[in-house]
Amino acid sequence: PFCCTHARTHLVAIARVRKVARVHEYVAIGDAERRLQLVVEPRVLVTGGAGFIGSHVVTHLVRRYPRYYIVNLDSLDYCSCVRNVHTAISSPSAGADASSESINRTNVDGGDDDDEDGDGDLGTRLRGSFCEWDQQQEDEGDVAARLPPNYKFIKGSILSADLVEYVLRTERIDTVLHFAAQSHVDNSFGNSIEFSKTNILGTHVLLEAARIHGRITRFVHVSTDEVYGEGAAETPAMTEDHVLEPTNPYAASKAGAEFLVKAYQRSFRLPTVITRSNNVYGPHQYPEKLIPKFINQIARGRPVTVHGDGSHTRNYLYIADVVAAFDVVLHRGEIGEVYNVGGSNEVSNEQVARDLLAIMKPDAAASAQIAYVSDRPFNDQRYTIDAAKLRALGWRERVAWADGLRRTVQWYARYGHRFANIEHALEAHPIAFKKTYSVPSTY
């Protein structure tokens, strides 16, 4: 009986392999909570792996799947910080860095609470930590010496066709996660050509290199909900088949990149998957983005600069939930499909400022701390997307808005010094924007 049972189990496993291999090289074995075991261990290229979302995904893949080989290709632009990755993956004890929040558990809550000492006066403690940034140092050489064998970092641009083709060939890459992009909407108004170069041409270079390489079994292209365009108050949540109507240069460049991805999937049968996420927040985000900008302005005792009347809303999703979403898409997403990655926290810009002030300056009057400044040339009133398709694969949003904000504030208080000079990022409008649109210097 034991032999029969063993043989039957073996045959079932073989059948699973044959069925799944047509889609990808992953096969589910045993308890679903044990995640996915590989038939052939993947060799994954992550572009933009030193950026905000990419750094978290790289950290998760390296630590959660030690048999995967991860190549991190990043040009180390102004908003990148490879130290966030290397510190988190260099030692099992690096969990003290909130960047290494574990997605291994079904519930991701409570992954980075080691900053709390009974909660006390959090605002006072945080402001004190921010003032000490310049004195905080980490031994980068020691960190580099401890990097795991299943990880490699390569500094380079996706605009270099020779480099991308070389990396795919020599590292024997079979899976691509494409995060690399120019992503700050404000910058796109004054520097739109650079956005088209990186987001459209860079994606094209990567797609063509993947086609020539001929060994890619999965190409995940990371896009944005902004490709859908503006939603009115009564607009129902947009599904993946909604028409694309971008309203700013950044969104237009991402929509253009998507069309290339779809063209390569149809013309050359490149096995692609596209994700469109709403606003993501959490540790590692460069301070030009709304939430870390507000955190840094408050920490420095400056007014919180809110665009327009502050009524524009965005739907926010905490980074740990986004990492979990990419894990699901990587292992369970269907080739040729698009998946919305959306949260349930629709909050106005003004309310974001008030919520952060309540954490960092609980005794101050919020209204006196907010400065309303000139709006963007065009600012979408809201975005709303339906993530039911992703939830059908087993993904769930788990981190509540209040908890995610608290975790984020704590991380910037402890590790925000990793970003170099950020004074320009804390301005109400980027320099390129001001030159183009002549925003008064007081802004």
Query: DSSP of 59-124, one letter per residue?
Result: HHHHHH-TTSEEEEEE---TT--HHHHHHHHS-GGGGGSGGG---SSS--TTTTGGG-SS--SHHH
pLDDT of residue 20: 37
Q: How many CA atoms lie within 13 A of 315 on its CB side?
A: 23
For the domain covering 42-437, report its CATH number: 3.40.50.720
pLDDT at 141: 59
**pLDDT of 431:** 58
Task: Note the pTM of the prediction, 2 decimals.
Answer: 0.81
pLDDT at 267: 98
The position carrying tokens 């904000």 is: 405
pLDDT of the chain, 443 residues: tens digit per residue = 434 444 444 444 444 434 333 333 333 323 333 344 444 689 999 999 999 999 999 999 999 999 999 999 999 998 999 999 999 998 655 443 444 444 433 333 333 333 333 334 444 545 444 443 333 445 555 666 689 999 999 999 999 999 999 999 999 999 999 999 998 887 888 889 999 999 999 999 999 999 999 999 999 999 999 999 987 777 789 999 999 999 999 999 999 999 999 999 999 999 999 999 999 999 999 999 999 999 999 999 999 999 999 998 999 999 999 999 999 999 999 999 999 999 999 999 999 999 999 999 998 887 789 999 987 776 777 888 999 999 999 999 999 999 999 999 999 999 888 887 888 889 888 755 444 444 333 32
Q: Please answer whether residues 247 and 378 qualify as being in contact, where contact means their C-beta atoms are separated by less than 8 angstroms.
A: yes
Hey, which residues does 414 pair with through a beta bridge? none
The ranges assigned to domains in the chain are 1-40, 42-437
Q: How many CB atoms lie within 10 A of CB 332?
A: 18
Residues linked to residue 221 through DSSP beta bridges, in sequence order? 178, 274
Q: Residue 401: what residue type?
A: W
Q: Which pLDDT score, from 0 to 100, does residue 151 have?
A: 97
Chain centroid, CA 432 distance in Å: 24
Q: Give catalytic residue positions.
A: 225-226, 250
pLDDT for the residue numbered 360: 95
CA-to-CA separations, 29 to 14, 37, 402, in angstroms, rounded? 11, 7, 37
- Estimate to the nearest angstrom the gap between the alpha carbon of 278 and the chain centroid: 10
